[in-house]
Chains A and B, each alone.
Chain A
Amino acid sequence: MIIDRETIDLYIDETNQSLADIEKNLLILEDMGPNIDKSLANLIYNAMHVIRNGASLLSLSKIKDLSQKIENVLGLICTSRLTPNPEVVNILFQGIDRLYQLIEKIHSHEDMDIDEQLVLLTGLTSAVLPDDIKQSVTAVRDIPVPDAEHVFHISEFNLIQVLEQGKNIYVLTFDLIKDVQEKNKTPLNLVQFIQQHGEMIDSVFDIKSIGTLEENETSSAMPYFVLFASTLSYEDLILVLDVQSDQIKPVNSAISDLILTNNKTHQKDLGPVISVRYEDTENKSCKNLLNALSCELDFAMNYFSCHSDKVLSMSMARMQSVLKSLKDLQYQKNRIQANKLLWKVGKNIRDHAYQNNSLAKLDIQCGQIMMDHRILSRLIDPLTQIVIKMIRCAQTDIPAQICLKMTQNDNFIQVTITPANPQIIAEETYLDCSVEENKFKAVSAEFTQTFDISTGLVITIRIPNNVIILPGFGVAIDDHYYVIPKFNVTYCLTNLPKKMWHENNSNISFYHNEQHIPVVGISSTDLSYFQTKKSLIVCNVGNQQFALASDSTEPFELDAVCQPLSKQLKSNPLIAANCLLDSGQIAFVPEMGFLANKYLSIC
């Protein structure tokens, strides 16, 4: 049995994993706005394509139909004809949610209804298309089989999608007796073999030529035609399919207009003038700033060695000026419109209400406010939890309506969460938000809740406008957490056999990749101390390489929001900055230059 329970189980596992990856990547794509990463978009598209092909092979028709519609929308995103804004992504999520349900009940999925999702996805596809292409969603194109009476009836839109993937369309002709039976193969072998080299768009038997039971004893020929899409050329296809040249006919005349349109579209794609100019400008601006910074650093190095403090301070001021420009540029690059992420709170609330069979509505007002997406993405979960807690406190027979409003001034962005009707929450009711409060503190935000009779319960979160965000890896060392700046980390070693440790004149090193890496400890330099550690974070500072011994087997990635250092910490040369983790614990950013020097002094 080729398609047995194991195959189905494998398909279920792989599809669930793929759907999770698709969801995750869609959120990343959505954050990018109109300037999407095309390679990521293609990755998502290909993942959905694999799901659809698998469903097709296993004849899971509803999964195939729904994944085909999702694939169509993803195809539009890949070709920049559709921006993955929150509305679009939300509809894709609805389709994906339904796919999960179909997969979960795979053996009875044919009984499940997918009409709602199909309508939404088709609407999305046709709504964004120009009028001339819009009709392709419903239009059907007839593709005749050469030298035969048969005609394939295929949606024009599907053909356009296939062409846009750079595939060629062919009609393949097989005789199931000569090409399959006489070669000791089965029809299933043939179908699977064909699908390894492209996509079977449709297929048809010449059932008339097979005749009836009365007409012949044994069929001498069984013509079978496949409408096939593949990136392979005509010549390559003859070779890989091991067929005669007359068994493959490229489809050109029946779709010549679609091929022409596709070529024109691709030519347009080659010259997205505005986008290219924008990227050029941005790159140029980065290059200029980096060049300026490098020059200023060179000058500063010279002054360090031979000039007075006065000149040095002037040089530092110049460097600060360039640094400020770089920070401004980075600040602009990381800002997105708040509504591009905040809609997820609404989706979470909708999902929560759906799962709990309750009714609730969240009204999000954030205007055109822009903020750093790294901060905003960390607010989604605690904001969701607060709204859920508020809904749970509401004493009302009608659906609870909660307002989430975002405002801003020069210093901070303020999020206010209140019930639309203050009276639905009992007087002097406060929410237990200690977990969420920690998460807000971790992004330097201030959390308060107040209650008065006129406004009822009001939750306020204030997020400062200018915070320093350091991408890094969090590790535990000697009962404390540290965030190692990402740009200093080269790799992490977790397999630390005792025989690889070396001690030479009190200098400790670890032998890896045919080199001795000097190891630096936070609180000790003893070999026995290092040998208790679970990992080594190999860092580079300038041209110095050293390893930092850590108690974490797996560093976690985070965008640390740096907090002001206390006076006591400022005097500690080992600490460059500190931040709070979502758990409420403090994490220190080590002064990597100091650690590198520590290694130098050891040497």
Chain B
Amino acid sequence: MSKKVISPGQDIVASMVPEFKKRLQEIIVEEGITELDIDLTGVEMVDSVGLGAFIATHNSLSQKNGKLTVINASADIYSLFKTMRLDQHFEIQQG
């Protein structure tokens, strides 16, 4: 089982999601990573499309019996994920 940390370093919003998803796909499909940490240091906002990227990543990893962890989430992103019960699907750690 291989593990990797990815740090987008910018807000996860519609404009960057296609590129971000492409990178995630490379990591999971081509590099065979099954334990992925997305480090949200420097990320202040996640929009609906961004949320979709997290869920799609979780779904991809689940198919491979892998695991997604979101780390260093800001207070509002942590709150949002918890309120939307996304913590029931993948682990979220506050920064």
Give the B-binding residues of A (Cβ under 8 A). 1-4, 8, 56-59, 61, 176-177, 180-181, 186-188, 191, 200, 202-205, 207-208, 210-219, 222, 224
Could you jot down 14 A-B contacts, CB within 8 Å? A59-B81, A187-B46, A188-B79, A188-B80, A205-B55, A205-B85, A207-B89, A210-B55, A212-B56, A213-B28, A213-B29, A218-B17, A222-B51, A222-B55
| CB of B60 within 8 Å of the partner chain | yes
Set of chain B residues within 8 Å of A186, measured between Cβ atoms: 45-48
Set of chain A residues within 8 Å of B17, measured between Cβ atoms: 218
Considering only CB atoms and an 8 Å cut-off, how many residues of chain B contact the other chain?
A: 36
- Check B83–A219 contact: CB distance below 8 A: no
Looking at chain B's contact residues, the main secondary structure is: helix
- Check A224–B84 contact: CB distance below 8 A: yes
With A207-B58, A212-B56 already in contact, the answer to whether A219 and B49 are too (CB < 8 A) is: yes
Please pick, from A57, A181, A204, A222, the residue contacting B79 in the complex, using a CB distance under 8 A: A57
- Check B76–A213 contact: CB distance below 8 A: no
- Check A205–B86 contact: CB distance below 8 A: yes
- Check B49–A177 contact: CB distance below 8 A: yes
- Check A187–B79 contact: CB distance below 8 A: no
Rounded to whole Å, the gap between the CB of B43 and the closest CB of chain A is 11
Set of chain B residues within 8 Å of A204, measured between Cβ atoms: 85
- Check B21–A217 contact: CB distance below 8 A: yes
With A59-B83, A204-B85, A205-B84 already in contact, the answer to whether A187 and B59 are too (CB < 8 A) is: no
- Check A214–B60 contact: CB distance below 8 A: yes
- Check A213–B84 contact: CB distance below 8 A: no
Please pick, from B29, B60, B84, the residue contacting A203 in the complex, using a CB distance under 8 A: B84
Set of chain B residues within 8 Å of A212, measured between Cβ atoms: 56, 59-60, 63
- Check B82–A61 contact: CB distance below 8 A: yes
| CB of B75 within 8 Å of the partner chain | yes
- Check A176–B48 contact: CB distance below 8 A: yes
- Check B25–A213 contact: CB distance below 8 A: yes
With A188-B80, A191-B83, A205-B86 already in contact, the answer to whether A8 and B57 are too (CB < 8 A) is: no
Set of chain A residues within 8 Å of B58, measured between Cβ atoms: 207
Rounded to whole Å, the gap between the CB of A485 and the closest CB of chain B is 53
| CB of B18 within 8 Å of the partner chain | yes
With A210-B56, A219-B56 already in contact, the answer to whether A58 and B75 are too (CB < 8 A) is: yes
Set of chain B residues within 8 Å of A59, measured between Cβ atoms: 78-79, 81-83
**Cα separation A3 to B45 with both chains bound (whole Å):** 11
- Check B25–A200 contact: CB distance below 8 A: no
Set of chain B residues within 8 Å of A2, measured between Cβ atoms: 76
| CB of B9 within 8 Å of the partner chain | no
**Cα separation A536 to B74 with both chains bound (whole Å):** 55
The 5 tightest CB contacts between A and B, nearest first, are: A59-B82, A176-B48, A3-B76, A219-B52, A181-B48
Set of chain B residues within 8 Å of A214, measured between Cβ atoms: 25, 29, 60
- Check B51–A8 contact: CB distance below 8 A: no
| CB of B14 within 8 Å of the partner chain | yes
Please pick, from B76, B79, B81, B83, the residue contacting A200 in the complex, using a CB distance under 8 A: B83
5 extra interface residue pairs, beta carbon distance < 8 Å, beyond A57-B79, A213-B57, A219-B56 = A59-B81, A180-B47, A191-B84, A213-B24, A217-B21
| CB of B44 within 8 Å of the partner chain | yes
**Cα separation A207 to B63 with both chains bound (whole Å):** 13
With A210-B55, A212-B63 already in contact, the answer to whether A187 and B47 are too (CB < 8 A) is: yes
Which residue of chain A is the closest to B82 with respect to CB atoms? Answer: A59
Please pick, from B48, B49, B60, B78, the residue contacting A213 in the complex, using a CB distance under 8 A: B60
Rounded to whole Å, the gap between the CB of A556 and the closest CB of chain B is 43
- Check A210–B79 contact: CB distance below 8 A: no
- Check B75–A202 contact: CB distance below 8 A: no
Interface residues of B in 6-22 (CB under 8 A from A): 14, 17-18, 21
Set of chain A residues within 8 Å of B76, measured between Cβ atoms: 1-4, 188
**Cα separation A533 to B78 with both chains bound (whole Å):** 57
**Cα separation A59 to B59 with both chains bound (whole Å):** 24
Which residue of chain B is the closest to A194 with respect to CB atoms? Answer: B83
- Check A3–B79 contact: CB distance below 8 A: yes
**Cα separation A501 to B52 with both chains bound (whole Å):** 72
Set of chain B residues within 8 Å of A224, measured between Cβ atoms: 84
- Check A218–B49 contact: CB distance below 8 A: yes
**Cα separation A60 to B47 with both chains bound (whole Å):** 22
**Cα separation A202 to B83 with both chains bound (whole Å):** 8
Residue from B57, B74, B75 with most neighbouring chain A CB atoms (10 Å) = B75
**Cα separation A599 to B69 with both chains bound (whole Å):** 80
